[in-house]
């Protein structure tokens, strides 16, 4: 048995924080650092690995919420919002049922959360496609244009922040910034990937029109309808927009759709298209009715 205590784990956590190690990485790292040469996992492995990692997670439970998967997004049931982690690529090896991908323990619980409403259920399936396609698309395209990769990364960071904040807050004005930035940075990333330097402004309508000209896609009409109804980015920094939570949730889902579409147009093999081709869900209506 190795010699470690809760204070050992607390000291290691402080060390990892100063080194910038992400919280979800720390439990296993603690086991490696404590056990050194006797660290072993799997069949016949050292049982202390599980003891150390379990105790570390008990002392610092918030760390489990920081696992990024391939990205984060949201689904909504009216204005109730749930964070979803994109961690399983489509086709590798097979697409799981929607309720499992979205983090529910059963189809019954998923349908109950959706209020047994067919429109809400369909909305979560569409959102699932958006979460998947943006995460996989940004990861696939990150080795291409460097400016585009950086902009998609920042769009993903804002979407992840949105997914952390919106399910937990009753306020809405604080989330308008990451909503607008997710859309703006995604559009600019796609413009850069199409071979044009994106402009230095925050005008979503202009950016959407420019992208539609450079790399047209079937999503463009829905994007144009949505961005025309987004609040102005600069003004929303300094004053409340006076929006009800339900409308802000719809804006958040629209920004997630825009992010996904910004990568879809360069891949041609995405989950949204597969769903449409296989009649998995009805066609989308306007994003902001």
> Taking all residues of the chain, what is their mean pLDDT, rounded to a whole number?
88
Q: Are residues 147 and 57 in contact, defined by beta-carbon separation less than 8 angstroms?
A: no
Q: Are residues 129 and 166 in contact, defined by beta-carbon separation less than 8 angstroms?
A: no
pLDDT of residue 277: 80
131 Cβ contact list (under 8 Å, min separation 6): 71, 72, 73, 74, 75, 84, 86, 256, 260
pLDDT band at 43 (very low <50, low <70, confident <90, very high): low
Q: Tokens for 232?
A: 């102005």
pLDDT in tens, 198-247: 999 999 999 999 999 999 999 999 999 999 999 988 776 666 668 899 99
Stronger pLDDT, 275 or 121, i.e. the higher one: 121
Residue for token digits 């996989």? 136
155-183 average pLDDT score: 90
pLDDT in tens, 50-92: 888 889 889 998 766 555 556 799 999 999 999 998 865 544 4
């Amino acid at each position: 048995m190795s010699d470690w205590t809760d204070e050992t784990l607390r000291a290691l956590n402080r060390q990892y924080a100063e080194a910038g190690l992400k919280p979800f990485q720390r439990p296993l790292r603690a086991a490696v650092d404590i056990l050194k040469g006797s660290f072993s996992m799997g069949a016949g492995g050292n049982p202390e690995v599980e003891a150390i990692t379990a105790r570390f997670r008990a002392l610092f439970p918030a760390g489990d919420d920081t696992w990024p998967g391939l990205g984060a997004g949201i689904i909504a049931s009216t204005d109730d919002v749930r964070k979803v982690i994109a961690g399983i690529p489509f086709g590798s090896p097979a697409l799981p049922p929607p309720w499992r991908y979205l983090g529910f323990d059963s189809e019954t619980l998923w349908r109950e959360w959706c209020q047994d409403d067919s429109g809400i259920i369909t909305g979560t399936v569409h959102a699932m496609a958006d979460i998947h396609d943006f995460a996989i698309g940004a990861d696939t395209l990150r080795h291409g244009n460097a400016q585009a990769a950086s902009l998609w990364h920042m769009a993903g960071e804002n979407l992840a922040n949105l997914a952390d904040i919106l399910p937990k807050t009753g306020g809405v004005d604080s989330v308008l910034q990451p909503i607008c930035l997710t859309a703006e940075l995604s559009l600019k990333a796609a413009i850069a990937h199409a071979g044009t330097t994106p402009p230095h402004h925050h005008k979503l309508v202009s950016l959407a029109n420019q992208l539609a000209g450079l790399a047209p896609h079937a999503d463009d009409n829905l994007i144009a309808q949505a961005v025309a109804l987004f609040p102005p980015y600069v003004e929303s920094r300094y004053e409340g927009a006076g929006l009800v939570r339900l409308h802000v949730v719809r804006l958040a889902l629209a920004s997630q759709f825009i992010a996904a579409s910004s990568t879809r147009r360069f891949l041609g093999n995405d989950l949204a298209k597969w769903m449409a081709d296989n009649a998995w869900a009805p066609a989308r209506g306007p994003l902001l009715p």
